[in-house]
Amino acid sequence: MKKILTVLLILVAVQFGCTKLDTVLYDRVPPTDYVADPVLLMSPIYAPMRDFLDWSGWWFANELTGDGSVGPTRGQDWDDGGKWRALHQHTWDNNTEAVNSMWSRYYNGVIEANKFIEAQSALGDALPVKIAIAKAKVLRAYYYYLLIDNYKDVPYETRYEFADETPSRNFRQDIFAKITKDIADEAPIIPASTTKTGVTKGFAYSVLARLYLNAEVYTGTPQWAKAEQYADSVILIGQYSLESDPLKPFVTDNSNSPENIFVIPYDEDKYQGFNLHMRTLHYNSNLTFDMTAGPWNGFAAVYDHYNSYQDGDARKAGYFLVGQQYTASGAPITDQGAGGEPLIFNPFIPAINMDASYTAVQIRMSGARVSKFEIKKGAKDNLSNDFPLFRYADVLMMKAESMIRQGKNGDQYINPIRVRAGVAPFNNATLDDVLAERGREFFWEAHRRSDLIRFGKFNQAWWEKGVSSPDRNTFPIPQWAIDSNPKLAQPPVPIQ
């Protein structure tokens, strides 16, 4: 009897708490609603990405665990069982919601890729078929990259139908070797298309550059020269460039930005899932943007991170909302929940858990709020901005970092990013400069956890977080997954 990836499908289906089950029938999604790839049959492989900013936990687990963003408890709001504090303070366990949710989304992508590859492989060797399979293999490798980055040793399977319903975990370094080979083998036949929402040569080489940039973390052996090589592969394609304005990659209509390499496409009505503005803006910020919905007054920038931007840095002015807030017509906003006090965002947050001992003004107004992604006038509870998973600024920064780690000078590649922000260029940038600049440039894009781990800084103390242990560098496999497959609690084995 044919056996599907039973245990992994179980893991996709079993969810906890607030996590939703997606009921969309992706084999019926019309091209006008989902345009992630010209091959409509590939849409189920892309589909899990739609949840990256919300239900999957990916953004929460990779942004809120760093030193730049925080989800403080504000009186009676945003406690949620302590799940946001657990991410910031590195006290999560294998029942924490974000940890639970990522696993199933990533494996859903793997399963759909394997299913697509097997179906297409039966159609012969025509070039369009080979290209479609190549794209699916790169997408599968991308999901495995997320799995080894977040969970370390995980089951690795490339068949849709296989005999073992309870797969064992495999070593991260073995999976790294498999997926880097897959991408390197397939990238040459993938077109260098200008699409931002499908697999292109630029996307494939960007994934390789990032994998090799983190090779020491994943395998114990650094491979900086290969990281530089694949960053060069993206650069040499010649179709990507920095925007002149650091905010341009994040505007509402950013679908054609030459800086964005691969994005998750969102639409406020037809392809929802981008609601980070609702999580950061104050309840009354709807008056600033003439929004049709009232935000939830939650996430903010850590004070130290906000202060890491120089005055005059265009990113500081553009990424954050601070000071007195105004309506769209220019009238000062007051907060009736704070006794009618003026709504003034103070970048300083007095505590991660602001209980009743703090004033209403502190609870409701503390923390610089984030406006990095344009909030258009009349915005709804979901934005239409596409969210970049890879952009050209990252490729340039990966190039600079890999060069510096090899004893070279990377100023040529990092300084254009600083100059466009309106700050002075570096003179012989150091690794500390690189990490700090990555923190400023890629704030709110879910890079920070991986960057801090690579630089050996993830377990250091920062605001409202003590020193954490190295086991925090990855997340534990969800308990519900282990309950479904006890082998997941056993030591990993080599890939057979």
Categorise residue 476: left if φ over 0, alpha if ψ from -120 to 50, beta otherwise.
beta
Give the model's pLDDT for residue 40.
67
Helix 224-237 vs helix 392-405: crossing angle, to nearest 10: 150
Give the model's pLDDT for residue 28.
31
Q: Give the chain's length.
A: 496
Q: Which residues pair with 345 in a beta bridge?
A: 323
Question: How many angstroms separate the CA atoms of 366 and 349, rounded?
Answer: 5
Q: Is 55 exposed, middle or buried (0-12, 13-18, 19+ CB in 10 A)?
A: buried
**Token pair for residue 147?**
């799995």
Question: How many angstroms separate the CA atoms of 91 and 68, rounded?
Answer: 17
Q: What is the domain partition of the chain in residue ranges?
A: 1-170+478-496, 276-381
HSE-CB of 462 using CA atoms within 13 angstroms: 19
HSE-CB of 445 using CA atoms within 13 angstroms: 26
Give the model's pLDDT for residue 295.
98
**Token pair for residue 159?**
């068949």
Residues 167/175, Cβ–Cβ less than 8 Å: no
Helix 127-151 vs helix 97-121: crossing angle, to nearest 10: 160
Helix (H, G, I), strand (E, B) or coil at 324: strand
Residues 484/161, Cβ–Cβ less than 8 Å: no
Give the model's pLDDT for residue 162.
59
Give the model's pLDDT for residue 227.
99
**Token pair for residue 75?**
């009186």
pLDDT in tens, the chain (496 residues): 233 343 444 344 333 333 332 333 233 333 333 334 334 689 999 999 999 999 999 999 999 999 999 999 999 999 999 999 999 999 999 999 999 999 999 999 999 999 999 999 998 999 999 999 999 999 999 999 999 999 999 999 999 975 567 999 999 999 999 999 999 999 999 999 999 999 999 999 999 999 999 999 999 999 999 999 999 999 999 999 999 999 999 999 999 999 999 999 999 999 999 999 999 999 999 999 999 999 999 999 999 999 999 999 999 999 999 999 999 999 999 999 999 999 999 999 999 999 999 999 999 999 999 999 999 999 999 999 999 999 999 999 999 999 999 999 999 999 999 999 999 999 999 999 999 999 999 999 999 999 999 999 999 999 999 999 999 999 999 999 999 999 999 999 999 8
Q: Is 444 exposed, middle or buried (0-12, 13-18, 19+ CB in 10 A)?
A: buried
- The CATH number, out of the four listed (1.20.50, 2.60.40, 3.30.460, 1.25.40), of the domain defined by the range 1-170+478-496: 1.25.40
Give the model's pLDDT for residue 161.
75
Question: How many angstroms separate the CA atoms of 295 and 291, rounded?
Answer: 9
Q: Which helix (H) or strand (E) holds 361?
A: helix 360-365
Give the model's pLDDT for residue 14.
35
Q: Which residues pair with 366 in a beta bridge?
A: 346
Other beta carbons within 10 angstroms of residue 236's beta carbon come to: 9
Residues 240/234, Cβ–Cβ less than 8 Å: yes
Residues 108/51, Cβ–Cβ less than 8 Å: no
Residues 235/192, Cβ–Cβ less than 8 Å: no
